[in-house]
Amino acid sequence: QKEVEQDPGPLSVPEGAIVSLNCTYSNSAFQYFMWYRQYSRKGPELLMYTYSSGNKEDGRFTAQVDKSSKYISLFIRDSQPSDSATYLCAMSLNQGGKLIFGQGTELSVKP
Amino acid sequence: EPEVTQTPSHQVTQMGQEVILRCVPISNHLYFYWYRQILGQKVEFLVSFYNNEISEKSEIFDDQFSVERPDGSNFTLKIRSTKLEDSAMYFCASGDRDDEQFFGPGTRLTVL
C-alpha cells in the first residue's frame, strides 16, 4: 500500500463549481497535513496547513482532516479558471519533518 | 512577501560532472530542505537541514550528494558525479517553527 494516495485525475469542472480533492494515507502517525498548488514547471505553493484533525477555512478553500479514516480533503468553492493547476497533498510525522507527497490531482476549471 | 529563490533556473550538464544548485531561503527560517521531482512523478524528499547539520535524509541522498549552508543566507545542494537519472526538478524549501514549508521555483537539472 502506498504511503499517500491521490487520484491523479485529470478533473475538469465548469467555472463556479465546488471542487473536492482527496487523499488517503496509510501511516496513522502523520500529524501535519498540507495542500499545495503547483502550476506547470513551477514550485509547489502552500495553500493550506492543518495540524491533526479538524477543518480549516481560508477564503474559498476549506481543508478537512479525518485521522480516524486516514483521509484528507480540500474543497474549493466558486472555482475559477485561475484555479487550474495540480493540487498536491502532503503530510509529515513531526514538526520540521520531511513531507510525503501524493501524486497530485490535475484540475482544470473551464470558463 | 518573502520567498525562497533558486539559481540557476535550468542547468544542463554532462554525465559525471559536478553540479551545485543554489537556494536562498526565507531569511528568518530555521529548517531547510531539498526535494526533487522527476517529470511526471511525485515530489520526493532528499534531505533536511537544521542547526547547521543534516537532520534527515532519504535513500536517494547517497554519497554523491551533499548540502552546505556556507553563509547566513545560502543553502546549496551538490551532486558530485551526475547520472542520467539525476535529471529532475530540484526544489529547495524552508520552514519556520510552525512547520509550514515554503518552496522555491525549482532548478531544472538536465544530465546528458
A101 in B contact zone (CB under 8 Å): yes
pLDDT at position B2: 84
A33 in B contact zone (CB under 8 Å): no
| A96 to B108: CB separation less than 8 angstroms, yes or no | no
Task: Give the minimum alpha-carbon distance from A92 to chain B in angstroms, rounded to a whole number.
Answer: 9
Q: How far apart are the first and last CA of chain A?
A: 38
Contact residues, chain B, for A103 at CB < 8 Å: 42
- Going by C-alpha positions, the residue among A16, A22, A9, A20 that lies closest to residue A79 is A16
Question: Residue B43 is nearest to which of A44, A45, A46, comparing CB atoms?
Answer: A44
Across A52-56, A105-109, B24-28, B85-89, least confident range? A52-56
* Whether residue A2 has pLDDT greater than 80: no
pLDDT at position A109: 97
Q: Which amino acid is at A94?
A: N
A17 in B contact zone (CB under 8 Å): no
- Quick one: pLDDT band at residue A15, thresholds 50, 70, 90? very high
% of chain A beyond a pLDDT of 90: 84
HEC per residue, B41-79 = CCEEEEEEEECCEEEEECCCCCCCEEEECCCCCCEEEEE
Question: Residue B43 is nearest to which of A49, A96, A101, comparing CB atoms?
Answer: A101
Mutation for testing the A interface, residue in B6, B31, B39, B42 having most A CBs under 10 Å? B42
| B35 to A51: CB separation less than 8 angstroms, yes or no | no
* Whether residue B98 has pLDDT greater than 80: no
% of chain B beyond a pLDDT of 90: 83
- Quick one: pLDDT band at residue B68, thresholds 50, 70, 90? very high
- Quick one: pLDDT band at residue A41, thresholds 50, 70, 90? confident
pLDDT at position A54: 86
Contact criterion met (CB below 8 Å) for A62 and A79 = no
- Quick one: pLDDT band at residue B100, thresholds 50, 70, 90? confident
- Quick one: pLDDT band at residue B16, thresholds 50, 70, 90? very high
Cα separation of B95 and B55, whole Å? Answer: 14
Q: Which residue has the higher pLDDT, B73 or B33?
A: B33
* Whether residue A1 has pLDDT greater than 70: no
Give residue B64's Cα distance to chain centre: 13
- Going by C-alpha positions, the residue among B84, B98, B79, B94 that lies closest to residue B23 is B94
pLDDT at position A6: 94
* Whether residue A30 has pLDDT greater than 80: yes
Contact residues, chain A, for B104 at CB < 8 Å: 43
Query: In the A/B pair of chains, how many CB contacts fall below 8 A?
Result: 59
Give residue A60's Cα distance to chain centre: 14
